[in-house]
Structure 1
Amino acid sequence: MSTDLYTKIGSYSEEDVKFLLKDLSHVQLEGSAESREKRIQSGEHYSESLPIEYHPPQEYIELFYQTLHDYKKTVAYYVGVVAEQIYRNKGKETVLVSLARAGTPIGILIRRYLHWKYGISLPHYSVSIIRGRGLDYNAIKYILAHHPEGKIQFIDGWTGKGAISIELTKSVRDIQEQYGVELDDTLAVLADPGHCTTLYGTRDDFIIPSACLNSTVSGLVSRTVLNQSYIGPDDFHGAKYYRELESSDLSNEFLDIIAGEFVRIEEEAIPKTGEDASFSGLETVKRMMADFQINDINLVKPGVGETTRVLLRRVPWKVLIKDMDSPYLKHILMLCEEKNIEILAYPDMEYTCCGLIKNVGDV
C-alpha cells in the first residue's frame, strides 16, 4: 500500500499525535441510540455506524471540571507510573501507538511526560482497533515503514472485561504470521480493574475525567468506523472530525491541566512491575450474566469508563454499584438520575460499577 495516506484530522497538534484515520466527516453515519442499538443487536457491527454527538450540556461540563479538579494529580501520577515503565522497557526507540479514541489523550500525556522528564520527543500515532475486526493493519504498516527500528507500545485508557486486550493479542499474532513482524502485544493503560495487562498505573477502577465527555475531550474525533461502503482495502479505518463542536472542545485544556501536575508527582512516579494478567474481571462478568440472565457478553460493560459510555451513548438497562460511597460515582449517579436508570448494589466485583445494556429485541 502507499505510505502517503496520512492527512491531519482532529484538534490535537501533530506534535502531540498523528491520527492514522481516513476522514469521513462528509458521510452521514450517525443514528439515534435506540435505532442504532436495535441494528447492533440485530447483527450490524457497531463499527459501521456512529452515535450522535452533541455540544455537551452544561451539567456535563461542570462534572468534567469537578472531576478534573478532584483527580488531576491522580491521573498525572498514573501517567507517570505508566510512562516510566514504558521508558524503562523500550527507551528512546519507543513508538507510542494509542488506540483511538479513549487511548489517545492518555498516549499524548505519556508522550508529554517523557518529553518533560527526559527531554525526548517520541513519535505518537493513534490507530483504530475494533472488537471482532482487529487492528488497522494498514496503519501498522504505515508506522513500521516510517519507523523500521522502532519499538511499538500500544496504549489505551483503561480495561473493562479485556475484549480489546484479547483483540490486540490476536491481531499481533496475525501480523507475525502474515508479515513476519513481531510486535509486543502488552497494552499500557492507566487503570486495569479487569486484570487484563501487566503494564498499568493502577488496578483501582477510578474515573478518568476524559470519560465524562465524548469527542469534545478526544480531539473532536469520532469513534472509529469500519464500513466497507467507505473504507477500501488500502484505506485506514475511518473517523469523523466534528469541527462543528469546536466551541465546546476541551481536549487541549484537559491535557494542559494534567501535564501541569507532573512537577508535583515527579518523585512519586516510580516504575513498578505489574502483576500477572489473570483476566479475573471476565469471570466476574460471566457471573453477572448468569445473575441477570444475559446471553450476550457485549451487553455487559464493567468499569467506570465503560459504564460512562453505556450511559452516554447506548441504551442502558441497569447499573450495578459496588459501593455507593465511592467518590468515583458522582457522574454515574447523575447520569442514572437523568436517564431514570435503575441502580442495584453488587458488592462482589473488582469494578466500581458496571453498566448493563438493554436488550432491545422485544422493544
Structure 2
Amino acid sequence: MTIKLALPLSGPEFGSYSKNDVLWLLKNLSQYNLEGELEEREKDIQSGKRHYSETLPIEYQPDEAYVNLFKNSLRETNVKLARAVAKVAEKIIKIFPEQITLISLARAGVPAGILLKRYINQYYPERDVIHYAISIVRGRGIDENALRFILKERTWQTWAFVDGWSGKGAIQKELKSALKKFFPSIYTSNSFISDLFVLADPGSCTPYYGTREDFLIPSACLNSTVSGLVSRTVLNSLIEANDYHGAKFYKNLKETDVSNYFIDEITKFFKQSQASPTSLPTWEGWEQVTDLAQEFNTTINMIKPGVGETTRVLLRRIPDKILIDPDKRQYTKHIELLAKARGVQVSFRHLTGYSCIGVIKNLRSEVD
C-alpha cells in the first residue's frame, strides 16, 4: 500500500519561524487538549500506564525575573554560542560539498538547525541547503514517514541530523538504532552519517560538536516560546499510519514568544572559524550517569545530565534533587532560581564534564 504523505507545515500557519528557516514534518494537533497535570502525568509515565510521548506537560510560564535571566544569559553566552554554531557549520560544509539537508530533532534541535542554516546561507550562499524538523521518541524510534518524505526530496548522502546538545547520549543511541532499522542496507556506508551534529556535547557522545563545555544554551531556558511556539512532539492514538508524529502550535503564547529574537541575537555574532580537530567520543557522560543511578538506587532514565536536560527536569518533570558543580555556577544561575522556586534540594559536588545533573523523583512507590 502506498502511503500518501502530507506536505510540511510552516509559519505563520504553524509556528512562529519563517518558511525559509524550517519546514516542520509534523501533524498539527493544536485543536486537541493533550496537556496533563504534572504529578499525575509523571506517575503515569513512571508506572508505564502511558508513554511520555502520549501527552504533553503544561507549558511553564516564567515570571519577569526568569525572563530577565534568559536575556542576561543570552548576552553572556552569545559569542560562545555563535562560535559553536560556526564550528559545527564549518564541519558540515566540509563533509557535504554540494547539497546539505539539515534534519533537526524537534524541538530542542530546531533552534540549532535554524542557526546552522542561517550561518551557511550567510557565508556559503552558493550551497543548496534545506532544513526539516522531525520527531524522534525515546523508546519508540524516529518518525519513519518523515524520513520517507525527505528521501523523496533529498538524497540520503546529504543528511545531517541536528540537535541542540547531548545529555548522556540516549537520543544518539535511539537515532542510530532507528536509522539502522530504516536503512539496513546502507547504514554501514561511509557516506551515511548517523551521528548527531550538536552545538554542545558535554557527554562526549558524538564527533560532530561545537563545544564539549556544558554551558547554558539560552534556548534551554524556555519551552515553546523559544522554539517557534511549537510543543514537544506527540505519538499517540491520534497519529494514524500515514501521519507524521504530532505537535501543537501555541498561538496563545505569541505575546511572550522570543523564538526569533533568540535566533537574531546569536546571528549577530557569527564569525567564520576554522573547525578544530575532531576528538573521538569517550561516552564518559554515560559512565557517570550509570554510577549515579546506582548511587541513588534509580534507573538511568531518571538521571538527566547537563544544563539543558536539568532545565527540562525543572520545567516539566517532578525533580528529586539537583547536583551542581561548584566550579561551574556561572552556567547554573537559572537552575538555582528554578530549584528555589520549586523547593527542590540542591547539592554541590564536582562532576565530570557536566555543570549540573537533574534527578527525577521516583514516584513508583506511590503508584505501586
- What TM-score, normalized to structure 1? 0.95
Q: Distance in 2 between matches of 1:350 and 1:149?
A: 33
Equivalent residue number for residue 230 of structure 1: 238
Give, as a single letter, the amino acid of the residue that structure 1 aligns with 2:255: S
**Does 2:321 correspond to 1:318?**
yes
Equivalent residue number for residue 216 of structure 1: 225
- Describe the superposition over 1:154-203 as per-residue Cα deviations: whole angstroms up to 9, x where unpaired: 00000011000000100111111289896420200011011100000111
Equivalent residue number for residue 167 of structure 2: 160
Q: Distance in 2 between matches of 1:160 and 1:173?
A: 22
- Describe the superposition over 1:6-58 as per-residue Cα deviations: whole angstroms up to 9, x where unpaired: 33321110100001000000111101211110000010211001001144321
Match of 1:67 among 68, 73, 76: 73
Q: Distance in 1 between matches of 2:210 and 2:90?
A: 10
Q: Distance in 2 between matches of 1:141 and 1:273?
A: 34
Task: Please state whether the residue corresponding to 1:185 is helix, strand or coil.
Answer: coil
Identity within the alignment, %: 47
Q: Distance in 2 between matches of 1:178 and 1:118?
A: 33
- Describe the superposition over 1:92-119 as per-residue Cα deviations: whole angstroms up to 9, x where unpaired: 2110000000000000000000111111
Change (3 A) 1:12 1:121: farther
Deviates more, 1:296-305 or 1:3-12: 3-12
**Does 2:194 correspond to 1:185?**
yes
Equivalent residue number for residue 99 of structure 2: 93
**Does 2:108 correspond to 1:102?**
yes
Judge conservation of contact 1:82–1:271 (CA < 8 Å) in 2.
yes
Judge conservation of contact 2:165–2:198 (CA < 8 Å) in 1.
yes
Task: Please state whether the residue corresponding to 1:97 is helix, strand or coil.
Answer: strand
Judge conservation of contact 1:47–1:225 (CA < 8 Å) in 2.
yes
Q: Distance in 2 between matches of 1:60 and 1:74?
A: 21
Equivalent residue number for residue 245 of structure 1: 253
Equivalent residue number for residue 181 of structure 2: 174
Match of 1:337 among 320, 337, 340: 340
Give, as a single letter, the amino acid of the residue that structure 1 aligns with 2:8: Y
**Does 2:361 correspond to 1:354?**
no
Task: Please state whether the residue corresponding to 2:31 is helix, strand or coil.
Answer: coil
Instruction: Give the drift of 1:60.
Output: 2.0
Equivalent residue number for residue 206 of structure 1: 215
Match of 1:257 among 265, 268, 275: 265
**Does 2:204 correspond to 1:195?**
yes
Matches within 5 A, 1:13-24: 13-24=18-29
- What TM-score, normalized to structure 2? 0.94
Instruction: Give the drift of 1:350.
Output: 1.9
Q: Distance in 2 between matches of 1:322 and 1:115?
A: 38
Give, as a single letter, the amino acid of the residue that structure 1 aligns with 2:111: P
Instruction: Give the drift of 1:325.
Output: 5.0
Task: Please state whether the residue corresponding to 2:16 is helix, strand or coil.
Answer: coil
**Does 2:123 correspond to 1:117?**
yes
Equivalent residue number for residue 308 of structure 1: 311
Q: Distance in 1 between matches of 2:321 and 2:4?
A: 47
Judge conservation of contact 2:5–2:243 (CA < 8 Å) in 1.
no
Aligned length: 357
Equivalent residue number for residue 277 of structure 1: 281
Equivalent residue number for residue 297 of structure 2: 293
Task: Please state whether the residue corresponding to 2:45 is helix, strand or coil.
Answer: helix
Q: Distance in 2 between matches of 1:169 and 1:209?
A: 27
Task: Please state whether the residue corresponding to 1:111 is helix, strand or coil.
Answer: helix
Judge conservation of contact 2:60–2:316 (CA < 8 Å) in 1.
no
Q: Distance in 2 between matches of 1:199 and 1:70?
A: 24
Instruction: Give the drift of 1:149.
Output: 6.5
Deviates more, 1:312-321 or 1:120-129: 120-129
Q: Distance in 1 between matches of 2:99 and 2:228?
A: 26
Equivalent residue number for residue 6 of structure 1: 8
Judge conservation of contact 2:180–2:187 (CA < 8 Å) in 1.
no
Judge conservation of contact 2:41–2:57 (CA < 8 Å) in 1.
yes
Task: Please state whether the residue corresponding to 1:225 is helix, strand or coil.
Answer: coil
Judge conservation of contact 1:144–1:150 (CA < 8 Å) in 2.
no
Match of 1:137 among 132, 137, 144: 144
Instruction: Give the drift of 1:272.
Output: 2.3
- Describe the superposition over 1:139-160 as per-residue Cα deviations: whole angstroms up to 9, x where unpaired: 0110110113751000000001
Task: Please state whether the residue corresponding to 2:178 is helix, strand or coil.
Answer: helix
Change (3 A) 1:178 1:221: farther
Q: Distance in 2 between matches of 1:96 and 1:54?
A: 29
Judge conservation of contact 1:3–1:145 (CA < 8 Å) in 2.
no
Match of 2:44 among 39, 53, 63: 39
